[in-house]
């Protein structure tokens, strides 16, 4: 349930006064998602229904949000299907609602993908490369706040809760990753969290890329690895049965390469990128499990999924 901050009709009518979007027709809380409060908002303007999503940011400060909203606008203006934020009458993207940062963005068509097919994996590979290429012209910079430093500090926080086998695997992987110089690989703006639940499809057509709230500057190869680890992973029952669909991996990476060829260094670093991406989400899910954020009902995702993914890549 991602309605942590309840919005009344009167709140929304007042909030919309600062936009040129017409009059509030109706609105509805969105149950999907885990980080922020989201509402579908419909207005009536010049006899036409307009559809938006209102997001109330539960964990971000006012200061850090312009980067994300500017990327959403930039990518939408560069043929990447992100949701364009709506400008207020004072020409900004960010407002305050119920004492929290809030933004109104266009509502994208399509639905989530639970079991992606080969074509959808290929489409995602192409569009991630397009995202990376377009981002080369984006002027703002944000360091990766889920990089190796964060991984080390997060491990130190949760180590006390972990069984010895997990401690040993994480320490070995951190030591391995510390030897790799990611900074020399092609880098730029990445999504950093492009899981299946952050893309919207209408059939085999990509209609939305959402949740850009981990976007940052980092190695492009890492972003592709994050996506492969989720979109090409086959979960059949027990975690031990997790494996990768080689055709989906090939389709995704081939489509990416067709749009943006990988350098020789990237080709060589690919196994390490898959491991780094698995470690990142293994650690964040372990932290959410052992140190859940206060005051909210979080959907705890299974860390063992990425424990198994990391194990598979380390044994490859
Ligand atoms: N711009 C949008 N257009 C259409 N649906 C959206 C849009 N943004 C979010 N959603 C819907 O809201 C859900 C939660 O959004 P998400 O950004 O994943 O939430 P959270 O920030 O909590 O992770 C998504 O799964 C999607 O169904
Ligand atoms: N897509 C991630 C959730 C986002 O990461 P987190 O750092 O907010 O936990 C996942 O499925 O683990």
Q: Name 193's Cβ contacts closer than 8 Å, sequence gap at least 6.
A: 211, 213, 214, 226
Q: What is the share, in percent, of the chain residues with pLDDT greater than 70?
A: 97
Interface predicted TM-score (ipTM): 0.94
**CATH 3.90.1200.10-classified regions of the chain:** 118-315
The protein residue whose alpha carbon is closest to atom 9 in ligand 2 is: 284
Question: What is the mean predicted confidence (pLDDT) over 234-253?
Answer: 95
According to DSSP, residue 190 is labeled: E
In angstroms, the Cα distances linking 67 to 64, 109, 139, 214, 297 are 6, 24, 10, 10, 27
Residues 88-109 have pLDDT tens digits of 999 999 999 999 999 999 999 9
Confidence of residue 299 (pLDDT cuts 50, 70, 90): low
Please list the residues that pair with 48 across neighbouring strands: 45
Whether the predicted pLDDT of 258 surpasses 70: yes
**Quick one: 240 exposed, middle or buried, by C-beta within 10 A (0-12, 13-18, 19+)?**
exposed
Among the listed residues 196, 189, 193, 223, the one whose alpha carbon sits nearest the alpha carbon of residue 121: 196
Whether the predicted pLDDT of 263 surpasses 70: yes
Question: What is the mean predicted confidence (pLDDT) over 18-35?
Answer: 92
Whether the predicted pLDDT of 295 surpasses 60: no
Q: What is the share, in percent, of the chain residues with pLDDT greater than 90?
A: 93
The protein residue whose alpha carbon is closest to atom 12 in ligand 2 is: 281
The count of residues in the chain is 316
CATH number assigned to the domain covering 118-315: 3.90.1200.10
According to DSSP, residue 213 is labeled: T
Least confident of 151-160, 231-240, 261-270: 231-240
Among the listed residues 216, 217, 199, 221, the one whose alpha carbon sits nearest the alpha carbon of residue 208: 199
Distance CA 30, CA 40 (A): 7
Q: Is 35 in the pocket of ligand 1 (CB under 6 A)?
A: yes
Whether the predicted pLDDT of 276 surpasses 80: yes
Residues 150-201 have pLDDT tens digits of 999 999 999 999 999 999 999 999 999 999 999 999 999 999 999 999 999 9
Q: Is 300 in the pocket of ligand 1 (CB under 6 A)?
A: no
Atom of ligand 2 nearest to the CA of 35: 8
Distance CA 235, CA 244 (A): 9
CATH class, domain 9-106, is: alpha beta
* Torsion sign, CA atoms 285, 39, 197, 106: negative
Distance in Å, CA 292 to ligand 1 centroid: 22
Q: Is 301 in the pocket of ligand 1 (CB under 6 A)?
A: no
Confidence of residue 223 (pLDDT cuts 50, 70, 90): very high
**Quick one: 96 exposed, middle or buried, by C-beta within 10 A (0-12, 13-18, 19+)?**
exposed
Contact 125, 253 (CB under 8 A): yes
The whole-number pLDDT of residue 293 equals 72
Task: Tell me which ligand sits closest to the C-alpha of residue 37.
Answer: 1
Q: Taking CA 238 as the corner, what is the angle to CA 232 and CA 244, rounded to the nearest 5 degrees?
A: 20
The whole-number pLDDT of residue 1 equals 55
Contact 282, 152 (CB under 8 A): no
The whole-number pLDDT of residue 160 equals 98
Distance in Å, CA 210 to ligand 2 centroid: 13
Q: Please give the mean pLDDT across all residues of the chain.
A: 95
Residues 114-144 have pLDDT tens digits of 999 999 999 999 999 999 999 999 999 999 9
Q: Is 195 in the pocket of ligand 2 (CB under 6 A)?
A: yes
The whole-number pLDDT of residue 2 equals 63
Distance in Å, CA 2 to ligand 1 centroid: 9
Compute the CA torsion angle 293, 280, 215, 109 (nearest 10 deg): -80
Distance CA 66, CA 215 (A): 12
The whole-number pLDDT of residue 298 equals 53
In angstroms, the Cα distances linking 87 to 91, 103, 114, 186, 276 are 5, 9, 33, 33, 37
**CATH 3.30.200.20-classified regions of the chain:** 9-106
Distance in Å, CA 315 to ligand 1 centroid: 35
């Amino acid at each position: 349930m991602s309605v942590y901050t309840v919005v009344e009709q009167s709140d929304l009518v007042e909030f919309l006064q600062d936009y040129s979007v017409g009059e509030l027709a109706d609105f509805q809380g969105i149950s999907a998602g885990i980080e922020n409060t989201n509402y579908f908002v419909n207005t009536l303007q010049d006899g036409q229904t307009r559809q938006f999503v209102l997001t109330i940011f539960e964990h971000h400060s006012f200061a850090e949000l312009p980067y994300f909203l500017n990327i959403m606008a930039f990518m939408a203006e560069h043929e990447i299907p992100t949701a364009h934020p709506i400008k207020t009458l004072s020409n900004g993207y960010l407002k305050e609602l119920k004492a929290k940062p809030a933004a109104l963005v266009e509502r994208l068509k399509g639905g989530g993908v639970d079991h992606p097919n080969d074509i959808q994996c290929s489409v995602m590979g192409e569009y991630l490369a397009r995202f990376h290429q377009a981002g080369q012209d984006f002027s703002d910079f944000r360091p990766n706040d889920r990089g190796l430093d964060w991984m080390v500090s997060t491990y130190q926080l949760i180590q006390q809760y972990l069984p010895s086998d997990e401690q040993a695997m994480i320490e070995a992987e951190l030591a391995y990753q510390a030897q790799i110089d990611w900074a020399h690989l092609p880098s730029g703006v990445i999504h950093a969290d492009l899981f299946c639940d952050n893309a919207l499809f209408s059939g085999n057509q990509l209609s939305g890329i959402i949740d850009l709230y981990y976007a940052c500057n980092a190695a492009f190869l890492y972003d592709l690895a994050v996506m492969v680890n989720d979109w090409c992973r086959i979960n059949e029952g027990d975690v031990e049965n997790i494996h990768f669909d080689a055709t989906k991996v090939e389709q995704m990476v081939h489509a990416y390469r067709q749009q943006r060829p990988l350098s020789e260094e990237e080709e060589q670093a690919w196994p390490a990128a898959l491991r780094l991406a698995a470690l990142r989400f293994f650690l964040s899910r372990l932290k959410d499990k052992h140190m859940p954020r206060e005051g909210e009902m979080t959907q705890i995702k299974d860390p063992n999924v990425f424990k198994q993914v990391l194990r598979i890549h380390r044994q490859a």
